[in-house]
């Protein structure tokens, strides 16, 4: 009963917010953002604990598995482009990984944040399951890592278009690499708005970043901390 209520209300809120977004397409009205705010406020107002919401929510979340599998389809469609730009893609992933680790590490050191939280934040740009795993390996707090991963995803989904305009980043390949390796799935899902090439390079970069992150993060901690 509780499960179906949370599934149905999440889906209805999402569909309504998506309708609103198609009418007023502003980044601030992105369905993922507006729906999350509405649901969080609803849960807080009605005093419903997260675990109760998740009785239904986990079924929706479970669909993320086959949804990520489905990204093989745009990748298959665009495979000749991937082969054509293989060096760009591979070097882009490494640049993203190194600049991500260095920038978040130096910011946190400047802000005098505890070491445990620094370790929690390092895997922020890789997809949630890998990030939590890496966080555990290097001594962070996995559930908090998951939250920071989502913040990184939101940042890309919300502000990615602004960054692309400012930096004059107009190539679908580079947009895909940047989004997939900085903002994983949440950012990649947003690439649907740009086109299939962006989306497929984004999903490929997300996957490659997960592999790179699983190797680079522990190495970075070992070398620098």
Partner 1 sequence: MNFFRSCMKVIRIVAQVLLLYIFYYAGVLIVDITHLPLPASIIGMVLLFICLHFKWIKVDYIKEGANFLIAFMTLFFIPPIIGIIDYPQLISVSGTLLLASVIISTLFVLLTTGIISQWIEKKELEMKEKKEKGEAEHAGKCIHH
- The residues in 142-181 that bind partner 1, with binding defined as CB under 8 A, are 143-144, 146-148, 150-153, 155-156, 159-160, 163-164, 166-167, 169-171, 173-175, 177-179, 181
Backbone angles phi, psi at 47, to 5 degrees: 60, 40
CA distance 87 to 222: 28
Q: What minimum distance in Å lies between the beta carbon of 195 and partner 1?
A: 13
Candidates 54, 142, 194, 195: give the one binding partner 1 (CB under 8 A).
Answer: 54
Within 10 angstroms of residue 19's Cβ, the number of other Cβ atoms is 10
Q: Mask 188-207, x = binds partner 1 (CB under 8 A)?
A: -xx-x------x---x---x
Closest CA to 90 of 210, 214, 216, 209: 209
Shortest separation between residue 62's beta carbon and partner 1, angstroms: 8
Supply the minimum distance, in Å, between the C-beta of residue 87 and partner 1: 5
Q: Which of residues 59-78 bind partner 1 (CB under 8 A)?
A: 60-76
Tell me the number of residues near partner 1 by CB under 8 A: 103
Q: Are 138 and 218 in contact (CB under 8 A)?
A: yes
Decide whether 180 or 223 has the Cβ nearer to partner 1: 180
Q: Alpha-carbon distance 112 to 203, whole Å? A: 35
Q: Which of residues 86-145 bind partner 1 (CB under 8 A)?
A: 87-89, 91-92, 95-96, 99-100, 103-104, 107-108, 111, 113-114, 117, 121, 124-125, 127-130, 133-134, 137, 143-144
As a whole number of angstroms, the distance between CA 218 and CA 198 comes to 29
The Cα–Cα gap between 180 and 192 comes to 12
Closest approach, Cβ 225 to partner 1, in A, equals 16
Q: What gap in Å lies between CA 9 and CA 21, rounded to an integer?
A: 18
The 8-class DSSP code of residue 120 comes to: H
Report the site for partner 1 in 31-50 (rule: CB under 8 A): 31-32, 35-36, 39-40, 43-44, 50
According to the binding rule CB under 8 A, does residue 20 interact with partner 1? no
C-alpha dist (Å) from residue 179 to 155, 191, 218: 10, 8, 23
Specify the residue, 178 or 221, whose C-beta has the smaller distance to partner 1.
Answer: 178
């Amino acid at each position: 009963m509780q499960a179906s209520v949370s599934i149905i209300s999440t889906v209805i809120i999402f569909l309504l917010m998506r309708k609103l977004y198609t009418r007023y397409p502003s980044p601030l009205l992105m369905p993922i953002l507006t729906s999350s705010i509405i649901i969080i406020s609803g849960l807080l107002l009605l005093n419903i604990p997260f675990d109760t919401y998740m009785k239904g929510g986990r079924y929706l979340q479970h669909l993320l598995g086959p949804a990520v599998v489905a990204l093989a389809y745009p990748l298959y469609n665009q495979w000749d482009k991937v082969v054509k730009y293989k060096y760009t893609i591979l070097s882009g992933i490494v640049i993203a990984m190194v600049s991500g680790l260095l920038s978040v590490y130096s910011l946190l050191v400047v802000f005098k944040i505890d070491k445990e939280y620094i370790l929690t934040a390092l895997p922020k740009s890789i997809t949630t399951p890998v990030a939590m795993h890496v966080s555990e390996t290097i001594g962070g707090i996995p559930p908090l890592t998951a939250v920071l991963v989502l913040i990184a995803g939101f940042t890309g989904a919300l502000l990615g278009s602004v960054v692309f305009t400012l930096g004059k980043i107009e190539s679908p390949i580079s947009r895909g690499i940047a989004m997939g390796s900085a903002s994983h799935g949440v950012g990649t899902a947003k690439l649907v708005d740009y086109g299939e090439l962006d989306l497929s390079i984004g999903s490929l970069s997300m996957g490659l970043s997960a592999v790179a992150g699983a190797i680079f993060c522990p190495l970075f901690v070992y070398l620098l901390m």
